[in-house]
Structure 1
Amino acid sequence: AAATRPGPPPLPVRSGPCGRAFVLVDHGRPAATIVIPPDAGEAARRAADILRTSVLKMSGVDLPVVAAAEPSRPNCAVLGFPPESLPPEVATALPTLRPDGFVAAASNGHLYVVGGSGRGVVYGVVHLLEKYFGCRRFSPTAERFPRADDLALGCLYEAVNPANDVRAVNGDLTLDADYRDWLRLTDLREIYGDGYYVHTFDRLVPWRTWFAAHPEYFALMNGKRVPDQPCLSRPEVFDIAAARLREEMAAQPDKRTWSVSQNDNFSYCQCPECLKAIEEEGSPAGPVVRFVNRIAALFPDRTISTLAYQYSRPAPRRTRPLPNVEIMLCTIELDRSRPIAEAPASASFVRDIGDWARLTDNIYLWDYTVNFSHFVSPFPNLRVLAPNIRFFAGHGVGKHFQQTNTGPGHEGSELKAYLLARLLWDPKTDPDAVVDEFLDGYYGRAGRWIRRYIDALHDALERSGARLDIYEPPAVHAADYLSADDVAVYNGLFDKAEAAVAGDREALGRVRTARLPLLYAELEIAKDDMFGPRGFYEERGGRFAARPDMVRRLESFAARCREGGVRNLNEGGLSPEAYVEAFRRFVDVQVEGNRAFRRPVAADPPPAAKYARGDLAVLTNGVRGAADFKVHWLGWEGLDFVLTLDLGAPAAAREIALSTLSDARSWILHPASVACEVSADGASFREAGTKTVPGDHRDEDAVRTFLWTDDTVPPGTLAATRFVRFRVEGVKRLPDWHASAGGAAWVFVDEIVVR
């Protein structure tokens, strides 16, 4: 059976109408005073400010806020007072509160709102404003404060604890403090040591400091020491990490949680000592938990967090994490189209979370709820959020990080953050009711049409049975939930949504931004099907011409991004401006006058099959790759390679070009050099020259074109050219500045052009 999370029993909730037990505003006049203790902390002061400003927005009345040892006048909103200053029925509930829990009560002519040791008093005020006055904060820029000349509460007593003690929804939106408080979300910066949230081994044992002199401190992989991870069996590594952590804790004494966790790569030490621990524990998590337990024992008053991520996700068989060890369990590999408990592909995770829950009740769940490579793309996962959070709760999880990467224009960001926040507070929340409330409040009259779009999108995914991955391009779904017929339905619904709010500038702007993912998907599918029925080009009289409707879509996408303040389109920070520029480059097809168009290419060794299916025809299909390495690029990992193009017949060439990609976050770097050779017969080759990439490959342009022209090579070199051979020398290993230095570097190549 899954572990249950310990804690106090459920708190009573009692409320009922009994007239105007507490009056804030009476016929447009102030009727209450907000009182906080003289030594009020930040939470009580924040609660007072939220109550004051909310009443002002609703009624135009500015209630006074005073600091006093106790309420000395009638009709006070008493916020954040200690137990000795509270009525017994309020004070007795305080020991049952979690840090963010609260009690709200109308008693003795006053309103009392008090919380646990966290931000409970803030959330208590927000709760009253939402439940009894209909206030809402839908986004950092969208709110609802109903106008009223009378604001009063009936008799009430409510004591509430959140289901989860840590409730984080990642992204730009939740950097807004006011918005974060209204959504009752946790600011992780208040909990974790600065720089010590995740992937910290390199901070604790920096390879740049230690690897050259002591390679034995680092992971043994395939018989060779590599700097990817430390060797957790070495006593020196433990001593270095413990000393560094002690220094950092001394510099940040207020931070209670510190990460001691694996670097973000797939390597782990396989020296005899580490392998023995892995075999005993049945998982590479074994050496990690043993190491972290030893660290945690040195700092019993701190929480030491570590990852159960990728290779370390399976729990150890023998070693139980210490009580002050937090297990940060990650779902990165899972299918997002089905609830975890129901998806066959997620069976191993179901096993793993059950195993961890039997070992510890200190699990921090890291979930992924967005397409990281394509923030602005349809990603129909709303229906799995509630069942997944309930599934996690059933396994004793009490802390959550929902990596949603919210931001302007990102698919459903505002809605997803709003829904997740409510589910994290109370997993029993009805997600459909929350979605409807949000859509009506945020989009106005267009809300019902966007609801129909969301339903149609999810229905299409479910009919198809397709998997939903957090890194895939939209073109993967061109035959299922993004089929031409389905996209036509979605566009019809958005046409109606825009028409419904045509006279409401603010709501129309939100609807236009909400349509961005649909436009983005159409553009990405057009790139993948460049000359096909959904492509960017159509053939007219033997020539290719851009389809006017696709040109309009690109222009509309660019305009809507500007209007909506969209800053980035993927995890790598790709800006809309850079995307549009790269898109125009991509669709600047290399057909007219290009002798290489659709000519065969040989490769030795062949490219990796997992990108563009390893199809060498990609190199001469007339389409130049843009910033996404998964579309129209071929890759080689840690290798040099040779490409040979056959133009079919000898003829003079004026220029020869080959393009490569740089995406350091994905371990992709431009090659160290590319040498070009040409031949008339395929046997005897002439050198056209070698191009090199200077510097350390840091901060390179995404796409680099290597160019040889008849005026830059020895005279006559490009005459009688049938075969073109490129000798590509890769960097092979990621350089020192890279976070995963020493790992195998990829080279990605795309369009070959010969004119």
Structure 2
Amino acid sequence: MKVSYQSGPFCSPGLFLFCIRFSILLVLAQLQWSCRSETYLVQDGTSNYRIFIAEDAPEPEKQAAHELQQHLLKVSGALLPVTHEPHPQTIYVGFRGAPASLTAGLSPESFPNERYVLRSDGTSLLIAGGGSRGTMYGVIGYLADHIGCRWYTRDVHKIPNLTTIALNEFDEQQQPAFEYREAWYQEAYDTRWALFNRLNPSIVPIPDSLGGSYITYPFAHTFYSLVPPEKHFSSHSEYFAMVNGKRQREHAQLCLTNRAMRKEAVQTVFGWIKERPEVNVFSVDQNDGYGFCECPDCKAIDEREGGPSGSLIDFVNYVSDTVGKVYPDLKIQTFAYAYTEAPPKHLKPNPNVTIRLCRYGYCSAHGIDQCEHSKPFRERYEAWKKIARRISVWDYFTDFAQYLMPYPNFASVTRNVKWYAEKGAVGLFAQGNNVPKNGGGEFSALRSWVFAQLMWNPNQNGDALIREFVTNVYGDAAPYVQRYIDMMHADVQADSAHFSIWAQPIELNYLRPEMINKADSLFRLALNAASGDSALQERIKLAALPIDYTQLYFYAIGGNAYLKPERMPAVLARFESVIKKHGISAMGDIPETYGNIGAFLQRVRTTPAFVSDWQVTGPFDNTDKKGLARVFAPETSAMSAEQLFKDKTGSSVKWQPYSGQTSAYVDFTKLFSNPDFSVAYAYHNYRSSESRKATFGVGSNDGVRVWINGRLMLDRPVSRKAEPNQDVFTVTLNGGDNHILVKVDQLERGWGFYFGEMK
């Protein structure tokens, strides 16, 4: 440092001496600062630091010390010894044995489970937390927030290469926004992934040696576990719900006011408590489905309280009161779901009762705070909040019947978690596409990671988290994957674009052929960008699986605009290769039915040559539901484009042309303005080069009749949802023209048919 001063007639001797002394002090301070050495945990790949863990530390803290050691080794190449002896340069893992200089002002016994502190005085570092998981989460927090480690998927981790790690002074504390955090994806149940992303799942819990989980027992729908009908129904049918005047043995609920049943239920809970001391909350909640009790006593409470949540809360309060006398700290949980979603008017849950509120059947396209379709749920949440001390949320983030379908619901993924945290929810179960056996549903690894980050800290930017995941998991191909995500989600932002958790591909406007074709092109570009990296290419093929599935789905129902016959074998082979490689054994919530991949592949392989161009007319009357058998004019006259008929309203109608490109399904509900309880006809002239036998497949919603050349070949009065080839028949065709007439009735909701020649 250069110091200058000036003397002369304007400088007194005293001032002169002051300037000299001040300058000397400045020089000494500068020298001291420049000579001070910065503290490093690791410098140039070596370290003098040790990791201290008390000899009597619990197993999860010992594991935390081991994880810290191994990750620092991976990051820097330096192996820090784990010791039980204090050292001048030490990382203290856990409060036990940590020096007072690092724990000053802290009250370790007041730290709740999962809360942790990171504190450095510039020489030593303290990583410690409360309960069984706090210290482990502190290690993970240090590695993530200070070192930059990330655990994106089971196979893709970000471990920085840092040969030098500085130790600065800092003091911070963290704890999760929710005490219970679970994401229902196979990917999220990998133990180490769940641990490092700080979830505490109940269904597949983290081992106690690593800190354990938040355990709910039984997990859900427990009425028949409390009072099993196979044990009690024959001798005590009065324990079970009365529906339409009759006690129900199955697919229903309990009689919640029956005193003897209540005592039996309480004894079951006492048994659970003794058997499962590790449980955080015991479930006393309704079975799935409906069938609530209509007996006079239950009905009286429900009428007074405005709905069946009345008798439910009355029963749950009884259980919690009785059990609470013996176990005052015990927590009971019950559903607010389906018929109990609305809270009672007067009753309030006991303080030790958690309400598990289910957001079932609302719009999935938009965030809960964005969409008017979610307004009833928002109002019910607020109503429960006024009377319940604790609310945990069960929300749905997938299409149950279509795990492998594109499902652009990231707005609900990123916004709902924050809304629940702001409203004070104590837990969140995010039900996603838990694809057996190894996962692989549409972006399920991405959703798992984003949920984990937001459940811990919902104030993070959800869109930024998505982009971070895409960038790090898809590497050189990330720009194309991100463009695909942005494209799909931009298409569902309009207020008119709503879809729910049971949507079918044919109902979704964002699955237009042009969108799927653009998506297919983007994934081809992504694969090209990943050339030479086989692992990255496999990740891209898995991400593209929903596009392959969509192309095959529409191909199987006659959607040539999605996939031409000549391209189908290549797409089918790619689809089968990916599901085999990733062990994907189901594509929906119930593998035996709509989730059956084998049945889907069989439909693709046996897709008929659909007829998609017709002449249609109607609607005719089916008010008495006998219209399928009744003879209307189109059955009695030869096809003529100019012929007029009287429809169900008395208006004149004639044959009109119809042609489908996205599907061979002839949807009468879109063709006729007054479809309820109607019948309609479709005509096609089917040409054959020669006389031959042909087999046709028909699917209908609802009943169907088919005539070939005036001969009735199929008469199927039925109520069902249309699928290709539900009925099959064989007929001898003429060489040349063959007149096909199809008649379909409508009983309620859907109305239409498929028709094609079997291969």
Q: TM-score range by the shorter chain?
A: 0.7 to 0.9
Aligned to 2:331: 303
Tell whether 2:222 aligns with 1:208: no
Aligned to 2:406: 378
Distance 2:69 2:541 in 1: 34
Distance 2:219 2:547 in 1: 35
Q: C-alpha displacement at 1:260, in angstroms? A: 0.4
* Kept after mapping to 2: 8 A contact 1:509/1:564: no
2:86 pairs with 37, 58, 72, which one? 72
Per mean C-alpha deviation after superposition, the further-off stretch among 581-590 and 36-45 is 581-590
Distance 1:612 1:97 in 2: 64
Q: Give SS of 1:461's match.
A: coil
Aligned to 1:559: 577
Q: C-alpha displacement at 1:384, in angstroms? A: 2.5
Q: Which consecutive unaligned segments of at least 5 residues does structure 2 have?
A: 1-34, 206-211, 629-666, 670-676, 685-694, 732-739, 743-752
Tell whether 2:521 aligns with 1:492: yes
Aligned to 2:79: 62
* Kept after mapping to 1: 8 A contact 2:93/2:126: yes
TM-score (norm 2): 0.74
Q: Summarize the Cα distance change of 1:241–1:504 in structure 2 as closer, same or farther, 3 Å threshold.
A: same
Q: C-alpha displacement at 1:62, in angstroms? A: 3.0
* Kept after mapping to 1: 8 A contact 2:180/2:214: no
Distance 1:116 1:505 in 2: 43
Aligned to 2:281: 257
Q: C-alpha displacement at 1:634, in angstroms? A: 5.0
Q: Greater RCO between the two (CA within 8 Å, min separation 6)?
A: 1
Distance 2:66 2:697 in 1: 55
Q: Which residue identity is paired with 2:77?
A: G
Q: Give SS of 1:475's match.
A: helix
Per mean C-alpha deviation after superposition, the further-off stretch among 611-620 and 435-444 is 611-620
Greater Cα radius of gyration, structure 1 or 2 = 2
1:583 pairs with 601, 616, 628, which one? 601
Q: Which residue identity is paired with 2:131?
A: S
2:561 pairs with 534, 537, 544, which one? 534
Q: Give SS of 1:561's match.
A: helix
Tell whether 2:116 aligns with 1:87: no
1:47-446 matches, cutoff 5 A: 47-66=64-83, 68=84, 71-82=85-96, 86-87=100-101, 89=103, 92=106, 94=108, 97-107=111-121, 109-188=123-202, 189=205, 196-227=218-249, 228-300=252-324, 301-406=329-434, 408-446=439-477
Aligned to 2:530: 501
Q: C-alpha displacement at 1:382, in angstroms? A: 0.9
1:443-494, Cα deviation, whole Å (9 max, x unpaired): 11111221111111001112472212112122211xx211122222222222
Please provide the CA RMSD for this pair: 4.1
Q: Give SS of 1:401's match.
A: strand
Distance 2:494 2:555 in 1: 24
Distance 1:444 1:102 in 2: 33
Q: Give SS of 2:511's match.
A: coil
Q: Summarize the Cα distance change of 1:567–1:44 in structure 2 as closer, same or farther, 3 Å threshold.
A: farther
Q: Which residue identity is paired with 1:254?
A: E
Q: Which residue identity is paired with 2:152?
A: F
Q: Summarize the Cα distance change of 1:657–1:577 in structure 2 as closer, same or farther, 3 Å threshold.
A: farther
Aligned to 2:19: none
1:570-620, Cα deviation, whole Å (9 max, x unpaired): 212369996255333355245699xxxx9x9x997899xxx9979999999
Distance 1:19 1:280 in 2: 76
Q: Summarize the Cα distance change of 1:377–1:520 in structure 2 as closer, same or farther, 3 Å threshold.
A: same
Distance 2:161 2:434 in 1: 30
Q: Which consecutive unaligned segments of at least 5 residues does structure 1 have?
A: 1-17, 538-546, 626-631, 636-641, 662-667, 670-701, 711-721, 725-748
Q: Which residue identity is paired with 2:486?
A: D
Q: C-alpha displacement at 1:397, in angstroms? A: 0.8
1:710-729 matches, cutoff 5 A: none
Tell whether 2:71 aligns with 1:44: no
Q: Give SS of 1:279's match.
A: helix
Distance 1:31 1:624 in 2: 77
Distance 2:682 2:77 in 1: 66
Per mean C-alpha deviation after superposition, the further-off stretch among 300-309 and 49-58 is 49-58
Q: Give SS of 1:471's match.
A: coil
* Kept after mapping to 2: 8 A contact 1:586/1:624: no
Distance 2:513 2:730 in 1: 42
Aligned to 2:510: 481
* Kept after mapping to 2: 8 A contact 1:24/1:32: yes
1:690-721, Cα deviation, whole Å (9 max, x unpaired): xxxxxxxxxxxx999999999xxxxxxxxxxx
Q: C-alpha displacement at 1:116, in angstroms? A: 1.6
Q: Give SS of 2:248's match.
A: strand
Q: C-alpha displacement at 1:115, in angstroms? A: 0.7
Per mean C-alpha deviation after superposition, the further-off stretch among 182-191 and 453-462 is 182-191
Q: C-alpha displacement at 1:42, in angstroms? A: 3.4
Q: Summarize the Cα distance change of 1:220–1:86 in structure 2 as closer, same or farther, 3 Å threshold.
A: farther
TM-score (norm 1): 0.75
Q: Give SS of 2:356's match.
A: strand
Q: Which residue identity is paired with 2:190?
A: D
Distance 1:56 1:337 in 2: 44
Q: Summarize the Cα distance change of 1:322–1:581 in structure 2 as closer, same or farther, 3 Å threshold.
A: closer
* Kept after mapping to 1: 8 A contact 2:118/2:173: yes
Distance 1:754 1:183 in 2: 51
Q: Give SS of 1:78's match.
A: strand
2:591 pairs with 568, 573, 576, which one? 573
1:637-667, Cα deviation, whole Å (9 max, x unpaired): xxxxx9766555559x9xx999999xxxxxx
Distance 1:269 1:200 in 2: 16
Per mean C-alpha deviation after superposition, the further-off stretch among 119-128 and 258-267 is 119-128
Q: Which residue identity is paired with 1:134?
A: G
Q: Which residue identity is paired with 2:287?
A: N
Distance 1:61 1:435 in 2: 33
1:293-339, Cα deviation, whole Å (9 max, x unpaired): 11111223211110000110101111111111111000011101122
* Kept after mapping to 1: 8 A contact 2:627/2:678: no
Q: Give SS of 2:555's match.
A: helix
Percent identity (aligned): 26
* Kept after mapping to 1: 8 A contact 2:396/2:501: yes
Q: Which residue identity is paired with 1:304?
A: I
Tell whether 2:35 aligns with 1:35: no
Q: Which residue identity is paired with 2:491?
A: A
Q: Summarize the Cα distance change of 1:589–1:129 in structure 2 as closer, same or farther, 3 Å threshold.
A: closer
Distance 2:374 2:309 in 1: 19
Q: C-alpha displacement at 1:43, in angstroms? A: 2.6
Q: Which residue identity is paired with 1:27?
A: D
